[in-house]
Amino acid sequence: MKYIEKLRNSGLRPTKQRLQICEVLFNTDKTFHFTINELKQKITKQANNKISLATVYNTVHAFEKKGYLKQIPINSSETYFDTNVTDHHHFYDLKEEKLIDLENSDVGPINILKKINGKKIKSVEVLVKLED
Amino acid sequence: MKYIEKLRNSGLRPTKQRLQICEVLFNTDKTFHFTINELKQKITKQANNKISLATVYNTVHAFEKKGYLKQIPINSSETYFDTNVTDHHHFYDLKEEKLIDLENSDVGPINILKKINGKKIKSVEVLVKLED
DNA sequence: TTGTAGTTTATAATGATTCTAAAAAAGTGT
DNA sequence: ACACTTTTTTAGAATCATTATAAACTACAA
């Protein structure tokens, strides 16, 4: 299985549950957005398998810490995660409550002119809210 | 009282609680960020007055709907609001968990090149995450 | 195989937010 | 001022996402 090594290299034991989550999240060319509950449903369907909600939380947080996932900063009752961990931006359709990726080529370069003493920029993320 | 008219013009009855909240939020030149609980504490201190948590929620949401406040899109357990409703951007200090305003002059112009059919852009917000 | 450290799990706990329904206050007309 | 309607406030309950707990299970190394 191709994710076993990836997990081991990250110091995470390749358990059945983690491998299932890897399949759902990373076994595709397309990146995508998801919430914890959406992910749990996908696993239950795709692998026809029960998985504990707590395990989904644990694993997603572990993957986020390792840099395989990132949270999308947005005000929503549920937290959104993104399998695209490269710097990129989002549309948020307020009516449909749906996130849409922006390619980097869709947004011109962003210049942050201010500096904060002793701090460095980790990421620059743009959220474009859409209305009808 | 200078906020009575403002509230009436918005179709909101100028109650004691709403006027107190206006004093705390708008009776200053500086704009600032706050959470519901911080706001409740300020009111309790400043006006030496009890106010129901539900009222603070109700009022903040009413003010947001009227455009006097806006939510800051950020992943935090509590929702952050901003008394600065003009288009502007934020630093987020990951270590201190603190928001810092960016002036518009601190960020170069942002070009959104992609269009979504039938939707228009309501706002463009940049979140710059800072680390040590 | 045996030990142990890491992982999963169901369930309980937490905490922010929303809901509810009754009491209080504000607005309106008389 | 009074009666009446509508809006608002309020305490407490309900909800919902997330985190904590602690017991059972699993991976892995000696």
- Is residue A97 less than 8 Å (CB to CB) from chain B? no
Judged by a CB distance cut-off of 8 A, whether residue B119 touches chain A is: yes
Q: Where are the domains of chain B?
A: 2-81, 86-130
Q: Is B70 a residue whose pLDDT tops 90?
A: yes
Whole-Å CA distances, A61 to A13, A28, A70, B48, B74: 15, 20, 9, 42, 17
Which pLDDT tens digit goes with each residue over B12-27?
999 999 999 999 999 9
Beta carbons of A28 and A48 less than 8 angstroms apart: no
The answer to whether the C-beta of A15 is closer than 7 A to strand C is yes
Specify which residues B80 forms β-bridges with. Answer: B35, B72
CATH for B2-81, options being 3.40.50.300, 3.40.50.720, 1.10.10.10, 3.20.20.140: 1.10.10.10
pLDDT for residue A94: 79
CB contact residues (below 8 A), chain A span 33-62, against chain B = none
Res B1: pLDDT: 67
The CATH architecture one would assign to domain A3-80 is: Orthogonal Bundle (1.10)
- With an 8 Å Cβ cutoff, are A102 and B111 in contact? no
Distance CA A30, CA A20 (A): 17
Give the tens place of pLDDT for each residue, A106-117: 998 898 999 898
The pLDDT tens digits of the residues spanning A24-76 come to 999 999 999 999 999 999 999 886 788 999 999 999 999 999 999 999 999 88
CB within 8 Å: A93 and B116: yes
Cross-chain Cβ contact A130/B114 below 8 Å: no
Nucleotides of C under 7 A from a protein CB: 6-11, 15-20, 25-27
Q: B78 vs B49, which has greater pLDDT?
A: B78
CA distance B28 to B30: 5
Q: Is B3 helix (H, G, I), strand (E, B) or coil?
A: helix
Report CA B120 to chain centroid distance, whole Å.
23
* Two tokens, residue B95: 């270590």
Greater model confidence, A108 or B63:
B63
Question: For residue B94, what is the nearest residue in chain A, using CA coordinates?
Answer: A122
List the beta bridge partners of residue A95.
none
> What order do you get walking across the sheet with A98-102 strand by strand?
A98-102, A89-93, A120-131, B120-131, B89-93, B98-102
Which among B62, B61, B49, B41 is positioned nearest to B17, based on CA atoms?
B49
Q: Phi and psi for B28 in degrees, rounded to 5?
A: -160, 150
Neighbours of A76 (CB within 10 A): 13
Q: What is the DSSP string of A92-127?
A: EETTTTEEEEE-GGGB----B----TT-EEEEEEEE
pLDDT for the residue B126: 93
User: Residue A59: which region, alpha, beta or left (left: phi > 0; alpha: psi -120 to 50)?
Assistant: alpha
